[in-house]
Structure 1
Amino acid sequence: MVFKKLLGALGVGGPTVDTVLATPAVQPGGLIQGQVNLVGGTQEAKISGITLTLVARVEIEHSEGESDGLASFARYSVSPPLTLAAGEQRSIPFAVPAPYETPVTSVAGQHLHGMSLGVRTEVEISGARDKGDVDPLGIEPLPLQRGVLEAFAALGFRFHSADLESGRIRGTGQSLPFYQEIEYLAGPQYAHLFKALELTFLATADRVEVVLELDRRSSDVINRHVLDRSSTGQDLTAVVDGWIRHALANAPSGHSGHGYGGGHGFGAGPVVGAAAGAVGGLVLEEFADEFVEEIFED
């Protein structure tokens, strides 16, 4: 897509940039591939560099409630300095990895309501960095993650929503400054024991850490589990059922809270302004209207 903001910054006749993703959907750890197409304007342009940034919509809790912000969580330089002649056309291929903790946005081709990720192309030119438009990026689950999700479906759980929360879950191997929560309504055999369950995946190259939070009337029960590659391809229905039964059997009798500190229990902190600031190392930006329209339409 052509950078409308880049044209505005350089004036009419400046260069244009169009990033094309050859892999509009990948798995965590997979390669995002494509090319950045440059077209020179009416005069020579010296480009200091081109950077691809992975961005996502993240929710943050603060004293005034909740706000959404745009968080960047991976940056890749895809071009050395170059000079683009007037009218010159040039294509720069790229292949950059999606972090293993990149949140899942779709399952079996079905978009998870509430999830919005994209690849933003930034061009440094004339001494200024111009943040251009964003191309939507889909993330399909790893085989281990898919096995867990299929197990919940087999147990009668119904997907309700998904979002990204700023903060960190203590005692885990989390590396990104936010985490995904996938919420399911309890299956019929569990509905009298708890009403909903939130699932968080923390993946690495050889394992997936699973954090479960059961929403009970008397207390919130949190358990952590780890699956390694040996579980890939297996039917995990009995395993997941065992996780839930273990959590219920060891649930405290009174209200325990989340036990992680912070407003939400997973390490959420304050935010500066309505939708901008820095929280636990996570920098949030305000949304541009065109970004909301292009990427965040559910």
Structure 2
Amino acid sequence: MVFKRMLQALGVGGPSVDAVLTSPDCRPGGTLEGAVQILGGDHPVDVEYLAIGLLTRVEVESGDSEYHTDQEFHRQRLTGSFRLEPGARHDVPFTFPVPWQTPITEVYGQHLHGMTMGLSTELEVARAVDKSDLDPVAVHPLPAQERILDALLRLGFRFGRADVERGRVYGVEQELPFYQEIEFYPPPPFARGINQLELTFLPTPRRLQVVLELDKRGGLFTEGHDAFGSFDVDYATVDQVDWVAKLDGWLRQAAQRRGLLF
């Protein structure tokens, strides 16, 4: 009997959980819908709660070093406590709001290199190992984000990689403890002055905040440094702006002001 209780505490013969998404695709500010399927094991258990959350991979700087960690950044409890009998099945439907500043993971049907995003499911079981599940989620850009990305590609910039960094961006409205950077390689007219362009989107329900960072190419006697700029995009008028011309002009002016001539 003692051995059996030990096995139960380790989760042997315990319940299982599986989140089934109606679709893994979503956008910032949208929703994910589906149901969590709970199946009882070979003995009754007391469930404390069932919860789901969004999880991504975050880069953390610590002194002179850095490391990566999985961080859950939005969570929703689906149930309170209940008794789960052996072999019993419960389907718990959910509608899960996706935060506006959730990092994007897909662009034009292609996965952004370096990005990880998943929906985690946790069944908290009293006096036993918790049961969990992780399902991949694809976060597609908002139409306004697509306009900016398309303009940069038309200017000749090429996708590099993307990552999520813990910290805050100065001077913008930020709701999460991290931000995404999408790296681009510059086209020849810009490549003489800069190594790369880093793009950060921080959407809100009212506007899209765009932050651009130019990484200056250092020379034999000069040290490279970063140059920042930001602007807002109005969702209602985004289609009325020539973003290719606007970004080209802004990038050239910003580069020239900082001595990055090309």
Structure 1 SS opposite 2:191: coil
**1:116 aligned partner, one-letter code:** T
Equivalents in 2 of 1:150, 1:168: separation in Å?
26
Equivalents in 1 of 2:118, 2:8: separation in Å?
22
- Residues 63-114 of structure 1 deviation map (CA, whole Å, 9 limit, x = unaligned): 3422111111111111232222211111001011110100010102100000
8 Å Cα contact 2:19-2:133 kept in structure 1 = no
Q: Which residue of 2 aligns with 1:76?
A: 76
Q: Which residue of 2 aligns with 1:29?
A: 29
Q: TM-score, normalised by structure 2?
A: 0.88
Equivalents in 1 of 2:48, 2:67: separation in Å?
34
- Residues 148-167 of structure 1 deviation map (CA, whole Å, 9 limit, x = unaligned): 00111000001011001111
Q: Which residue of 1 aligns with 2:48?
A: 48
The reply on whether 1:176 has 2:182 as its aligned counterpart is no
Q: TM-score, normalised by structure 1?
A: 0.78
Number of matched residues? 247
Structure 2 SS opposite 1:232: helix
| Structure 1 residue ranges (4+ consecutive) displaced by more than 4 angstroms after TM superposition | 7-10
Identity of paired residues, percent?
44
Equivalents in 2 of 1:196, 1:231: separation in Å?
29
**2:250 aligned partner, one-letter code:** W
Give structure 1 stretches of 5+ with no counterpart.
Answer: 1-6, 254-298
C-alpha RMSD of the superposition: 1.9
Q: Which residue of 1 aligns with 2:4?
A: none
- Residues 220-266 of structure 1 deviation map (CA, whole Å, 9 limit, x = unaligned): 2100110011233355212221221231233268xxxxxxxxxxxxx
8 Å Cα contact 1:156-1:186 kept in structure 2 = yes
Q: Which residue of 2 aligns with 1:283?
A: none
Structure 1 SS opposite 2:141: coil
Structure 2 SS opposite 1:151: helix
Equivalents in 2 of 1:109, 1:9: separation in Å?
44
Equivalents in 1 of 2:152, 2:139: separation in Å?
19
The reply on whether 1:229 has 2:231 as its aligned counterpart is no
Equivalents in 2 of 1:108, 1:144: separation in Å?
14
Equivalents in 2 of 1:219, 1:212: separation in Å?
14
8 Å Cα contact 2:11-2:128 kept in structure 1 = no
Equivalents in 2 of 1:252, 1:230: separation in Å?
35
8 Å Cα contact 2:17-2:133 kept in structure 1 = no
Give structure 2 stretches of 5+ with no counterpart.
Answer: 1-6, 218-223
